[in-house]
Amino acid sequence: MAIFVRIAGPIIKAGLPKLGYLRSRFLWEQTNHTKASMVIKLEKVLISDEVDPKCVNILQNNGVEVVKNTKLSKEELLAEIPKYDGLIVRSATKVTADVINAGTNLRIIGRAGTGVDNIDTEAATRKGVIVMNTPGGNTLSAAEHTCTLIIALTRNLGAASMSMKEGRWDRKKFMGSELYGKTLAIIGLGRIGKEVALRMQSFGMTTIGFDPIVSPAESAEFNTESLSLEEIWPRADFITVHTPLIPQTKHLLCDATFAKCKKGVKVVNCARGGVIEEAALLRALESGQCGGAGLDVFVEEPPKDYTLAKHPNVIATPHLGASTIEAQTRVAEDIAQQFVDLAQGKSLFGAINAPALANALSPATQPWVQLGDRLGAVGSLLSKNMSITNVEVVMFGEPLKKAGTFLIASVMAGFLKTSAIDNGDLVPISLNLVNAPIYAKQSGVVTTSTYKEGSDSTYVRIDLQGAGGEVLQVCGTVAGSECELLSVQGCAFGVPANLSGNVIVYRVHKEIPLADIISAAAKDGAQVRAVSTSELKNSQAFGVLSLNAPVSPGLTNLNSVVSVAYPASL
């Protein structure tokens, strides 16, 4: 165990004769500080909808207590949810803002299936709660159901089957058509859209599609030509939609778009009710502009009005896209394993609202996430009189080339948490990588990130700009799993300041004996275990006192010696 005080720079010249006293007074314990933990506490999970038993088994085998109760009313759920860290649902449970806000211990909500329409994702994000689904679990079942409806439409299978059950042999009535040579337009070329394309190509169909995310080169890999929507409508014999229901996709097929299609075009929706406007579809069916529809989803489920489902040219099923034994087993296993992987800090898959956290779970990035948080906290403390309007995160070194998203989130989490010490109404809840970007935007602070090429060293600098144009720069790096402060306002620390645990950050405008600083801090109740100081430059210097225990705010004695001092827990 080494006994020393971390000192550097001319700021302490006047205190050097007292170094013997300092050596006997302070002890630096070389402890292993815990690195940034992205692990989510997951001790108890509620499952409120029916899921395959494998979901329960996986969670329990990994030490998670599971309660399955599928009979909860909303009032009962509100009373029950505070007991749990996690919640797993399918589509029956409506996870409203009231439920999320009542979940005082809630950290993660998972839907065993695709889409999260029944979860208030915005409310969860503001609360810092992760929302995830199982994007791949239903893929094959949904694709197969889509293909089934396309085939059924060509041969009038629904109506033909019904006529037989009613004792009629209406062979001439149900003349069909072949799929061979027809053009299938796929709106949404993600997992399900791709699988539909591959399957229907085996029938000799030409597949075209639109997706703002999937590039033409990517869709060409599965023989699907990427076109604009305006190019698609007049070419399609069949249209199938595979998009979420968002403002951009609501009523994507409507009177205007049906008018641009071939007369007799057939449509299929196994995605979300509302992507096809139901009233417009009914009008198109009545006029013959639409020759048939295969519908598995509806705006209201179950529908109060079955007029559309009963139309003779409609084949309707009660939301069966994911209703296969295999799909339900797969999504149950997937959501449970995703919970476990996140709880163990291995990975975050299927998260809807946590891009920064998803990129921050690898062992290589975790210390940098923690550094961002702590640099943000230090920057917030030292810029309290600046009215910060802009925060720029500047990254140096190849390992940080793609770190912008999570570093901005972690810097702002640290910045806003520290701001909230003196301004409790700014951020009313705990901050993390999920909700920090939202509260940063709400606070009016503009955030940006910049990567600088050509640096031999790997480090992060945050530039905090005040309303008057003044800028505070704080620079730090990672050494192993330790976060280190390298400089403030260009004033370099001869020995980098360790940013962990309880600290006091201070500024001075002249050389002050280090012994005086430590003595004043001791009078304020600070148990100092290490000191790091910067050089004196442009009539200012900075220091960090590492403490054995938290200290009360105020620091009357210390503030009588230095220009300003702030306590913090990093």
What's at 28, amino acid-wise? W
The Cα 475–Cα 381 span in angstroms is 14
**Residue pair 46/87 in contact by the 8 Å Cβ criterion:** yes
| CA-to-CA dists, residue 322 to 137, 143, 296, 459, angstroms | 9, 9, 10, 47
The Cα 398–Cα 382 span in angstroms is 29
**Residue pair 543/532 in contact by the 8 Å Cβ criterion:** yes
DSSP-assigned letters across all residues of 210-238: E-SSS-HHHHHTTTEEE--HHHHGGG-SE
**Residue pair 480/371 in contact by the 8 Å Cβ criterion:** no
The question of whether 301 is a catalytic residue gets the answer yes
Count other C-beta atoms under 10 Å from residue 395's C-beta: 23
Q: Which of 50, 301, 398, 470 is catalytic?
A: 301
Torsion region of 501: left, alpha or beta (phi above 0 gives left; psi -120 to 50 gives alpha) = left
The candidate with the shortest Cα–Cα distance to 529, out of 25, 32, 34, is 25
DSSP-assigned letters across all residues of 363-420: TTTHHHHHHHHHHHHHHHHHTTTS-EEEEEEEEESGGGTT-HHHHHHHHHHHHHHHHH
Point out which residues pair with 462 in neighbouring strands: 393, 474
Q: What is the CA radius of gyration of the chain?
A: 31
What the block records as the tokens of 558 is 């210390």
The question of whether 178 is a catalytic residue gets the answer no
* CB proximity list for 383: less than 8 A, separation 6 or greater: 464, 466, 472
**Residue pair 108/86 in contact by the 8 Å Cβ criterion:** yes
The question of whether 272 is a catalytic residue gets the answer yes
The candidate with the shortest Cα–Cα distance to 15, out of 507, 509, 511, 514, is 514
What's at 497, amino acid-wise? A
* CB proximity list for 489: less than 8 A, separation 6 or greater: 472, 473, 537, 538, 540, 542
The Cα 280–Cα 252 span in angstroms is 11
**Residue pair 37/366 in contact by the 8 Å Cβ criterion:** yes
Point out which residues pair with 461 in neighbouring strands: 394, 475
**Residue pair 240/222 in contact by the 8 Å Cβ criterion:** no
Q: Which of 319, 482, 511, 535 is catalytic?
A: 319
Residue with tokens 């600088």: 452
The Cα 159–Cα 181 span in angstroms is 24
276 DSSP assignment: B
The candidate with the shortest Cα–Cα distance to 3, out of 17, 22, 15, 12, is 22
Q: Which of 90, 272, 330, 461 is catalytic?
A: 272
501 DSSP assignment: S
Q: Which residues are designated catalytic? A: 272, 301, 319
